[in-house]
Amino acid sequence: MRYDLAVIGSGQGGVPLALDFAKSGRRVVLFERGDLGGTCVNVGCTPSKSFLASAHAAGRARRAGRLGVEAQVRVDVPAVMERVRTIVGEWRDGVEAKLARSSVQLVRAEASFEAPHRLRADGEIYEAEQVVLDTGTRPTIPPVDGLTGTPFLTNTTFFRQETLPRRMIVLGSGYIGLELGQGAARLGTEVTLVTPDDRILAREELDVCSVLTRSLGIDGVRTLLERRAVRVAHDGERFTVTLDEGTVLEAEALLVAIGRTPNVPEGTIERAGIALDERGFVQCDPYLRTSVAQHFALGDVAGQPQFTHVSWEDFRRLRAVLKGDRSRTRDDRVLAYAMYTEPQVGRVGMTADDAVMRGIDHRVVTLPLADVARGAEWGLEEGFFRLVVDPTNDAILGATFIGYEAGELIHVILAHMEAGSTWRVLERSVHVHPTFAEGIPSLARLLA
């Protein structure tokens, strides 16, 4: 069977690309070995954010005492988990319906390379002029003694639980560990986070981590820093996790969230000749081209910030490249990210720490949310807004917001950066009182 385009993986970029090409009359084959929709829909953003909606409702109710409102919180955990799976099912069905309405040939099997333009799936051979890898990542499993063979959880299995454990140990303190850890704690689980780093969310600046650690502490999350699990045992009911300094932890569940490993189809290096980088991701140039002609990669597997909006935007960039338009590269975009703990973290561009490390001349200002009227009035003064600018031309280099809905508010900065505007434009802006967003020009005014 011969095709114009073969897409491996039905992730955030692969599906729209396949649909778009099929719509323009090209013969397209799409391979998916798991659930349609990839990580985001099935085991990533959709279930985690649906889960957090319940967790944060419980957390906010418990903390309403500071507003003079005392709430008795009773959580129906099976209903929470069922709601999560229902929402996931609806989104997955949506992807399936879109593909069914198209002329994309969907092959529900694992694809491997026989040769650069020859793929095998389910015993059949498929040939394609152009091949796109959208194969994503999977949880990294550390080589901890005794871990293999125990029923530990990852983000892949976490949402299959009917109920939540009484106690849960979380290995890892990146955004997945923190979101699921805080979420479980707010729904009634006793959570212990273990990280080898000297702070949680080690990629962020120290005071971001301090605000978060304090907030997690209020939710009852215990954080053990600079420690590693060295041995795991499971007796049929409970996990025993031994840490490097000798502490022994016990819990009914163990969640492994230490990072992500790229999914690379069998034969990628040996039979297709596609080069990988030192971390095992597909090596790509700024046009998402791999080392082999007419082979491309997008999304997580292309070794870039691992977010749904990146994979989806890659689709638009790659579509242009495949149609011969090289006016934009994957690097000429402003990237932001959000973490949906409470308080949230929203970040765009570089931090002051990044600027120092890269030797970039910069100015940095910080505004505590306690100084923003809305923060004080609503009892949501945890956190701050921080802006990093270039003193030579007033350009905005980046921002870190931590606080209520910081993931939404960061888009004000993103839009200014994308438009190439300066902090002086921000400083002139008149924002609505009393909103959190009103704090953003106030933040810029600290530079004046």
- In the complex, minimum distance from the CB of residue 93 to ligand FAD, in angstroms, rounded to a whole number: 15
- Do residues 402 and 342 touch, judged by C-beta distance below 8 A? no
Contact residue for ligand FAD among 110, 190, 197, 371 (CB under 6 A): 110
3-state secondary structure of 36: coil
Q: Which is nearer to ligand FAD, 32 or 342 (CB)?
A: 32
Q: How many residues bind ligand FAD (CB under 6 A)?
A: 37
Binding flag, residue 159, ligand FAD (CB under 6 A): no
**What is the H or E stretch that residue 285 is in?**
none
> Whole-angstrom Cα distance, residue 347 to residue 406?
8
Residues of span 306-365 touching ligand FAD by CB under 6 A: 306-309, 311
Residues whose CB is less than 8 angstroms from the CB of residue 97 and which lie 6 or more positions away in sequence, other chains included: none
- In the complex, minimum distance from the CB of residue 126 to ligand FAD, in angstroms, rounded to a whole number: 11
Binding flag, residue 59, ligand FAD (CB under 6 A): no
3-state secondary structure of 37: coil
Residues of span 257-296 touching ligand FAD by CB under 6 A: 263, 265
H helix intervals, 191-286? 206-218
Residues of span 166-195 touching ligand FAD by CB under 6 A: 176
Contact residue for ligand FAD among 6, 21, 28, 48 (CB under 6 A): 48
> Whole-angstrom Cα distance, residue 67 to residue 98?
46
Q: Interacting stretch for ligand FAD, rule CB under 6 A, among 44-52, 184-192, 352-360, 383-391?
A: 44-52
- Do residues 9 and 38 touch, judged by C-beta distance below 8 A? yes
**For the chain, how are helix, strand and coil distributed in percent, rounded to 5?**
35, 25, 40
Binding flag, residue 375, ligand FAD (CB under 6 A): no
* Local structure of residue 220 (DSSP, 8 states): T
Q: Which is nearer to ligand FAD, 124 or 226 (CB)?
A: 124
Over its C-alpha atoms, the chain yields an Rg (Å, rounded) of 23
- In the complex, minimum distance from the CB of residue 338 to ligand FAD, in angstroms, rounded to a whole number: 7
| Assigned token pair, 291 | 């080392």
Question: Binding residues for ligand FAD, per CB under 6 A?
Answer: 8-14, 31-34, 38-40, 43-45, 48-49, 110-111, 134-137, 155, 176, 263, 265, 299-301, 306-309, 311
